[in-house]
Amino acid sequence: MKRYLGRILTLGGISIGAGAAVLALRRQRAPSLRGKAILITGGSRGLGLALARELGRIGCRVAICARSEQELEAAAHSIAMDGTEVLTAVCDVSDPSSVQKCVQTVRSRFGKIDVLINNAGIISVAPLENTTVADFERAMAVMFWGVLYPTLAVLPEMKARGDGSIATIASIGGKISVPHLLPYSCAKFAAVAFSEGLRAEVARYGIRVTTIAPGLMRTGSHLKAEFKGQQDNEATWFTLCATSPLISMGVSRCARQIIAAVRRGKSEKILSTQANMIARMNGLFPGLAPNVLAVVNRLLPFSTNDPESMVTGKDAVKRGNYLLKVAAGLGQRAAKQFNQVEPNQPSG
């Protein structure tokens, strides 16, 4: 018995040692991003801005693009305060000509693009009855075509170089479709499919592709989100979820984990314990999540007879109920820190 126990302990020790060696080897082989040229779409606020700041701190040359020149200027100022070399480019990622112009601008300044981070996104919250075909088209334009166009623009140079990294910021909503967020989920599902298939196709060229699936993050994005139907009630539940420290993750922490995943060339990174649990549950029991969400949907606001009327989170908070103002207050710090409000403008 002692002999067998000794063998088991020996094998266990060898396994642990081998596992530790593999982890150490992976960390040792992970290339540094210092000095690399990074392009981040949707980089003027929220997660994109957090990524730009963190990448700047580790010595990257950072280019950010977005539709608003004013937001880009504010973001660039905050990034440059750490001594980061930062370039801004006004760009609509749903327009291929605008994307090509942006990529050319970055190349002319940095010489090349080592890493592309597809981050641009929009959020529209409403029951299906208050959602139009145009809402689906807009979501797909930004979060699917807005991933495809920048990727196609950088692939030729990465193939020629035999090196490069592409990361797509999808969502846990790209793995499990969430009620009242159908346009968002549809676009994120498409982005996940493209990113996963792309990794398989371009690995032969030395290009690494990483799919990122964050859960809820405290980015202040509730103020930029759009709400239809029972607007204030929709804004309330969404804001509570997006700002609560109990169920949402700090965006700077998210950014650091994303950068680590890109640096190591990981295939996928799901962010937050809750998102990982949901994804695993859905993998083990594929029919369970939709049934659970069907129950959750009964607790969400009912639709209205007006499919067109829309309000932003910022305006909803101004006129909203006490609970909505309290929820917005939880996200006030993140909103100010990550450029979701204009300078000197209160977020709630």
Catalytic center residues: 184
The C-alpha atoms of residue 342 and residue 39 are separated, in whole angstroms, by 24
The C-alpha atoms of residue 347 and residue 332 are separated, in whole angstroms, by 6
Terminal Cα-to-Cα distance of the chain (whole angstroms): 68
Alpha carbon distances (Å) from 200 to 143, 149, 169: 21, 19, 18
Give me the helices (H) in the chain, please: 2-29, 46-57, 69-80, 96-110, 133-143, 145-161, 182-202, 231-243, 251-264, 273-284, 288-297, 313-319, 322-330, 332-337
Alpha carbon distances (Å) from 284 to 33, 68, 69, 213, 295: 36, 43, 45, 18, 20
Sign of CA dihedral 152, 156, 158, 159: positive
The C-alpha atoms of residue 335 and residue 46 are separated, in whole angstroms, by 8
Specify whether the CB–CB gap between 222 and 235 falls below 8 A: yes
